[in-house]
Structure 1
Amino acid sequence: MKFYLIRSRAARWFGVVVATGLFSYCTVFAQVGETGDLSGRVNITQPIRENSQIGSQEIIRLYSFSYGGYDATSSNRVAETPRVVIYLESPKNAHGLKISKKWKNAPKFVTIDQKNEQFIPHILPIRVGTVVRFLNSDSVYHNVFSLSPVKSFDLGKYPRGQYRSVKFDKPGVVNVYCDIHTHMSAYILVLDTPYFTQIDSTGHFKMEQIPAGEYRLVAWYGRWPKKSQPIKIIAGKELKVNITFP
């Protein structure tokens, strides 16, 4: 483990970089105030297979046979960049977090599209209380369902241009499937915290204007166990974190 300290009297700033296992972080001065920023990069060391599934094929088959057949073929699948979710909890749990003005308002409705026999996005993080609209943009029928304890539902078959809505009122992971097309699957990560984001196509992420204080940073991707570590947001500074998966 190496420590680096950079000082400049003229500029009056310093930075510290610490490498610790799978996480590394550094702090640099940002704007002064009661909030700080968080940014970083997620490094994916294991390739994601194009045909990777998030759920048990046996679960889908049992459900599909019970409710009327399934189509296990698809020629339209496109590999999606792993959209790792980054979120913050308080040190013990997600309750009692201070919420800055930037993060106060959350969308009441978000959409998961069904296009080219895929759920888009494949991973969707939302806050507790959010309504998800499942839109069908394909020329074929879809039937969205979940058997997850957090939220179970069956939206029935509906055609192109229509959507069905579900409100998610408990935190946790919801596995979503289509009983007609077994290759279709998605995650909905329902969070009891306003502070979350996803990495972009280059693996980078950023969250701004987070109230100063101690948090637990969690990196989540459905295929692998989540990574977490305690962090401290300092007012007027930016914390940079590097995370490696799996």
Structure 2
Amino acid sequence: MKRILISGILAMMFAVSMPNVLKTLYAEEKAALSAEEAADALKKLEEAQQKLKRVVQNIPKIENGGSITGKVTCKRERTNENVVVFLEKVDNNDFPPPTEHAVVDQLNLTYVPRVVALQKGTVVDFPNSDAVRHNVFSPPTAALQFNLGTYPTGVIKEVKFDVLGETPLLCNVHAEMAGYVLSLANPYFAMTDKEGNYTINNIPPGKYTVKTWHEKLKELSQEVTVETGKTATIDFQLARRR
């Protein structure tokens, strides 16, 4: 009877202490860095953001193409970047995907880049460059559902995005991590810079519907006519989704 009682007490103590243990481990993982370490971590993150492509596409070379350029303003957002501007349909949207892989790294508990736009059929590499383990997965509402499991630093896993639409990226280990992969039907798209500027080149002459995508803001669309050797200008002002 005493053994049973002691076992029950120990089990209760273990159940109560486990959340605290997990919290302690998580706190240790995110322990404050020294000023030098923090500066080095920030430098590595900025270098990775500049190095890795946010757009991966395979645009055919043509001689009589035109362009679309413009500026996107994001209301109540700190920056105008990471807006994807794309043509809804070009011919039959039958274009071979790029052989180049997109890359979404994991660094400083951050997905880098946070947003990647790519052509349907593109393969994405998910390396873990952090000193901790990560688990990359997408929620049930994602265009492409997958779970790569938990894996350590230095490991690279890949996923082929053979569907259209928005795929949020999450991590089972770190709830604050979030990213997005947007799969598009054709290679005619671009992503805005911090000022909201974008340009889409080598577009076959014709009439098109231009659309926008942002992780928080409402999608907009406009009609445009692209002429040989000319540049059409289209600006957008995006507001929050209701």
Question: By the TM > 0.5 criterion, same fold?
Answer: yes
Are the aligned partners of 2:81 and 2:191 in contact in 1 as well (CA < 8 Å)? no
| Separation in 2, partners of 1:107, 1:40 | 29
Which of 151, 161, 166 is residue 158 of structure 1 equivalent to? 151
Contact 2:84 / 2:192 at 8 angstroms: preserved in 1?
A: yes
Q: 2:76 aligns with which of 19, 41, 46?
A: 46
- Residue 133 of structure 2 is matched in structure 1 by 141
List, as ranges, runs of 4+ consecutive aligned residues in structure 1 with deviation greater than 6 Å.
none
Corresponding pairs, count: 176
Look up the SS of the partner of 1:125 in the other structure: strand
Cα distance, 1:214–1:81 mapped onto 2, change above 3 Å: closer
> Of residues 97, 100, 119 in structure 2, which corresponds to 1:127?
119
Q: Distance in 1 between matches of 2:133 and 2:68?
A: 42
Q: TM-score normalised to the size of structure 1?
A: 0.67
Higher relative contact order (CA 8 A, sep 6+): 1
> Which has the larger share of strand?
1
Q: Distance in 2 between matches of 1:181 and 1:200?
A: 27
The aligned counterpart of 1:234 is 227
The AA in structure 2 aligned to 1:89 is: E
- Structure 1 residue 97, shift from structure 2 partner: 4.5
Structure having the higher helix fraction is: 2
Instruction: Check the 8 A contact 2:93/2:185 in 1, yes or no.
Output: no
What is the one-letter code of the residue matched to 1:116? N
Of 205, 214, 222, the residue aligned with 1:212 is 205
The answer to whether residue 65 in structure 2 is matched with residue 35 in structure 1 is: yes
C-alpha offsets along residues 21-74 of structure 1, whole Å, 9 cap, x if unaligned? xxxxxxxxxxxx6211111111122124xxxxxxxxxxxxxxxxxxxxxxxxxx
Please report how far the alpha carbon of residue 220 of structure 1 lies from its aligned counterpart in structure 2 after TM superposition: 0.8
Task: Report the Cα offset of residue 162 of structure 1.
Answer: 1.3
Cα separation, 1, equivalents of 2:196 and 2:119: 22
| Cα distance in 2 between the residues matched to 1:121 and 1:109 | 14
Alignment counterpart, residue 92 of structure 2, candidates 75, 82, 96 = 96
Question: Which TM-score applies when normalising by structure 2?
Answer: 0.68
* Alignment gaps of 5+ in structure 2: 1-62
> What are the ranges of 5 or more consecutive residues in structure 1 without an aligned counterpart?
1-32, 49-79
Partners in 2 of 1:181 and 1:105 — Cα distance?
Answer: 32
- 2:217 and 2:147 map into 1 onto residues whose CA distance is 27
Change over 3 Å in CA distance of 1:107–1:207 after alignment to 2: farther
Q: 1:97 to 1:128 in 2, by over 3 A?
A: closer
CA, structure 1 residues 105+126, in 2 after alignment: closer, same or farther (shift >3 Å)? closer
Provide the rounded CA distance (Å) in 2 between the counterparts of 1:98 and 1:144.
30
Residues 71-97 of structure 1: CA distance to partner in whole angstroms, max 9, x if unpaired? xxxxxxxxx86310011023xxx6615
For 1:149 and 1:202, locate their aligned partners in 2 and report how far apart those are by CA, in whole Å: 29
Deviation at 1:200, TM superposition (A): 1.4
* Residue number in structure 1 paired with 2:196: 203
Percent of aligned pairs with the same amino acid: 32
Q: Note the alpha carbon deviations across 1:5-36, whole angstroms, 9 max, x for none.
A: xxxxxxxxxxxxxxxxxxxxxxxxxxxx6211
Describe the SS at the equivalent of 2:104.
strand
Superposed CA RMSD: 2.0
